[in-house]
Structure 1
Amino acid sequence: MEFNAETLKKTENPGKKRDELRAKVISLKDLVDYQDGTVASRMIVNTKAGSLTLFSFDEDEGLSEHTAPFDAVVTILDGECEVWISGVTHQMKEGDTIIFPAGVPHALSAVTRFKMSLTMIREKES
């Protein structure tokens, strides 16, 4: 899957559904389902300051190398994946978190089916 700004805009449920999640205890990994042979996503929060998007990756799926203009925090919610940041490989499993620095090339690939949360921090430090 090619990663770009449009990837983050795709959601299973539009904005009104996001509002239904506010002020409730939720399990993030239950909010996006696996889909055979593809990557699925669901945006949970989207503001000028940042966004929270959930992804599910079927086995053998991934995101090709790319950069982002802002820092991104990735937490694995289920399964296992490999992450590359500037050519360094990291093995990740449920509960692990990594920060993709702004402007640094990164990619990821499923080792097993996996789910992750992606938090984009859009505002720059002052």
Structure 2
Amino acid sequence: MELIKNVKHGEEFSLRNLVQLEPGRVNSLTLSQTPGCKITVFAIAAGEGMSSHAAAGDAMVTCLEGKAQIVIDDIVHEVSPGQTIVIPANAPHSVKALEPYKMLLVVVKPQE
């Protein structure tokens, strides 16, 4: 059983090339989903994003390309390529692409 899917194992690849930007859209590709962890790559067109929501686990966001505004508990953060931010579990947050944006999202949930 492969725990990480949608990529070839044992071969190099670029995370930012796994999802394509499309005008007016948010595209994603799930790489892994287990009860304790979810890994997803997103491509978000400029001006698009995700409205305020919360996750049951800590969410680590790494900017792969572009620039985005991430609001966590009403505090505005701007992320650029190479930067990472951790969103605490259950904290309300939103994401808005300031320019075409790609990110890696890793959500780690507590064991039940």
Decide: shared fold, TM above 0.5.
yes
Counterpart of 2:66 (choices 72, 75, 79) is 79
Higher helix proportion (structure 1 or 2):
1
Distance 1:123 1:76 in 2: 24
Q: Note if contact 2:19-2:28 (Cα within 8 Å) is conserved in structure 1.
A: yes
Which structure 2 segments of 5+ residues have no match?
none
Aligned residues: 110
Q: Give the partner amino acid of 2:61.
A: V
Q: How far apart, in 1, do the equivalents of 2:94 and 2:70 lie? A: 6
Partner of 2:34: 47
Aligned to 1:120: 107
Q: TM-score, normalised by structure 2?
A: 0.90
Structure 1 unaligned regions, length at least 5: 1-14
Query: Over aligned residues, Cα RMSD in angstroms?
Result: 1.9
The one of 60, 76, 82 equivalent to 1:95 is 82
Distance in 2 between the 1:123 and 1:103 partners?
12
Q: Which structure shows the bigger proportion of residues in strand conformation?
A: 2
- Relative to the length of structure 1, the TM-score reads 0.80
Which residue matches 2:12?
25
